[in-house]
Amino acid sequence: MNYIKNKVNKLTKKYKTNNPFEIADFLGVTVKTFDFPAEVKGIYQYEKKNKFIYLNSQLSYHERMYVCGHELGHAVLHTKINCTFLRQYTLFNVNRFEHEANQFCSYLLIPDDVLNQYSGYSLEYIAATFNIPVELLMIR
């Protein structure tokens, strides 16, 4: 089984939810909103053993769900890695970390048993049904 899918399955089984805000709370990750520029949807930050997710205050409810799911992926999979810093101040390629956070979010928000109920439907239809970007389904 995929490492990321396995990690998500363990969390959702342990906490009996796939809500990223609830799981963040259980894991001690502080989630706050912030007035970011429109192009910044969210940021994960690890500072002095504390985990923070900052979401753009202008996001809709559905956008907050998947952005929180993505940032929670960073908190769980890349706890001490600051992708924002790496992207801005180094030549380090953070694409792998972003891809993994997207996979985490996809498995979290749409578990396999739910996705299987939509067999035969287009990815666009499923994405619209769950109010998520189609890209989150394409990476599975």
State the CB neighbour count (10 A cutoff) for residue 24. 21
Q: What sign for the dihedral angle of Cα 17, 122, 100, 3?
A: positive
Give the chain's end-to-end CA distance (angstroms, integer): 12
State the CB neighbour count (10 A cutoff) for residue 75. 24
pLDDT at 93: 54
pLDDT at 83: 61
SS (H, E, C) 2-48: CHHHHHHHHHHHHHCCCCHHHHHHHCCEEEEEECCCCCCCEEEEEEC
Cβ-contact 40, 56 below 8 angstroms: yes
Cβ-contact 46, 80 below 8 angstroms: yes
Structural domains of the chain ordered from first start: 3-138 (1.10.10)
pLDDT at 43: 95
Backbone torsion region of residue 131, taken as left when φ is above 0, otherwise alpha when ψ lies between -120 and 50, otherwise beta: left
Residue-by-residue pLDDT tens, the chain, 140 positions: 599 999 999 999 999 999 999 999 999 999 999 999 999 999 999 999 999 999 999 999 999 999 999 999 999 999 887 766 555 655 555 688 999 999 999 999 999 999 999 999 999 999 999 999 999 999 98
pLDDT at 96: 86
